[in-house]
Amino acid sequence: MKSLQSIRTALLELLQKLPFKSVALLIEKMTANKRSFYSFYGEDAIVMGLMDRYKMQTGNKLELSYIDIGAWRPIKGSNTYFLYKLGFSGTVIEPNPHFQRIWSLIRPRDNFVSVGCGIGKTANLQIFHPGAASNTFNLEFAKEITNQQGFPVTDTVSVPLSSLQEIIENHIANSALPFLLDLDIEGMDYEVLSSYNFPIGFRPKIILIEDKPPMGVSAHSLLIENYLIAHSYQPIARTVATAVYVDENSDL
């Protein structure tokens, strides 16, 4: 395959002059850079692109651990599973206790912590159903989901909370690699984000943050952007629901 890729350009240029569409299409497909994506809106594709650019510019592989807050499932909709497949691991924060077993089975290298990320000691998690993607501590957000998507809250569970600072400090104590922060906590993203001042040595290289839910418009989107820019993070991309920021002080 590598030898075919090395002559791909010359071969396709030749085929462009000849009426062999089927052959050209076959070679184009065979030499395509095929990849699998797992996130809902292409967030992992954007991070892959940043890693590709880093390797192209430096000649080195970008190694990343991750802190995945509001992780939901280990593969479906995951922004970090592709990093796990590359051999990396990270800290996974998911307050819904129903997911702990499946994470331990599918991603055993990750440090799964069944807590919420927030301010205070405990909070009531509004659960729509055990496998729901949008369980939340935010009562207003829960009402929005119920009204817009027709999912009523079926259970409320009191769970312990850890601050963003505690989560990052604990992660760094167990990993020497630079890290990506993925923050998706259903309507409380700005509240949690603004509790952290991103000190030197405790700064993620890349931040993924859900600032616009798929249905509706987040009032916190501009607040999040202004806060991160003030702390030297540059917005470089966005998807339907998620903004992507890079540390201006990093080598990305």
CATH number (domain holding residue 185)? 3.40.50
Give residue 20's domain range: 1-34
143 within a domain of the structure (yes/no): no
228 within a domain of the structure (yes/no): yes
Q: Is residue 69 located within the same domain as residue 5?
A: no
Q: Is residue 23 located within the same domain as residue 62?
A: no
Q: Is residue 105 located within the same domain as residue 20?
A: no
Q: Is residue 106 located within the same domain as residue 167?
A: yes
Q: Is residue 101 located within the same domain as residue 24?
A: no
Considering only CA atoms, which of 190, 187, 192 is closest in space to residue 168?
A: 192
147 within a domain of the structure (yes/no): no
Give me the pLDDT at residue 10, please.
74
79 within a domain of the structure (yes/no): yes
Considering only CA atoms, which of 89, 86, 160 is closest in space to residue 121?
A: 160
Report how far apart, in Å, the C-alpha atoms of 230 and of each of 4, 224, 247, 248 are: 48, 10, 11, 11
Question: Tokens 């301010």, residue?
Answer: 119
135 within a domain of the structure (yes/no): no
Decide: helix, strand or coil at residue 33. Answer: coil
145 within a domain of the structure (yes/no): no
Give me the pLDDT at residue 42, please.
94
Give me the pLDDT at residue 160, please.
86
Q: Is residue 1 located within the same domain as residue 54?
A: no
Which helix (H) or strand (E) is 98 found in, with range?
none
Q: Is residue 104 located within the same domain as residue 213?
A: yes
Q: Is residue 105 located within the same domain as residue 176?
A: yes
Count of domains for the chain: 2
Could you give the CA distance from residue 211 to residue 117 in angstroms, rounded to a whole number?
16
Q: Is residue 9 located within the same domain as residue 113?
A: no
CB 110 within 8 A of CB 89: yes
Report how far apart, in Å, the C-alpha atoms of 136 and of each of 129, 160, 165, 169, 219 are: 11, 14, 20, 24, 17
Please give the DSSP secondary-structure letter assigned to residue 55: H
pLDDT tens sequence across 82-94: 999 999 999 999 8
Q: Is residue 114 located within the same domain as residue 19?
A: no
Q: Is residue 11 located within the same domain as residue 88?
A: no
CB 65 within 8 A of CB 85: no
132 within a domain of the structure (yes/no): no
Give me the pLDDT at residue 204, please.
98
Q: Which parts of the chain sit beneath pLDDT 70?
A: 1-6, 8, 11-12, 15-16, 18-20, 31, 124, 126-155, 213-219
63 within a domain of the structure (yes/no): yes
Instruction: Say what angle helices 8-15 and 21-30 make with each other, to 10 degrees.
Output: 160
Q: Is residue 19 located within the same domain as residue 56?
A: no
Give the CA angle between residues 6, 45, 167 to the nearest 5°.
130
Give me the pLDDT at residue 33, please.
74
Q: Which distant-in-sequence residues (6+ apart) come within 8 Å of 200 by Cβ?
A: none
Buried b / exposed e across 92-102, counting CB within 10 Å, b at 16+? bbbbbeebeee
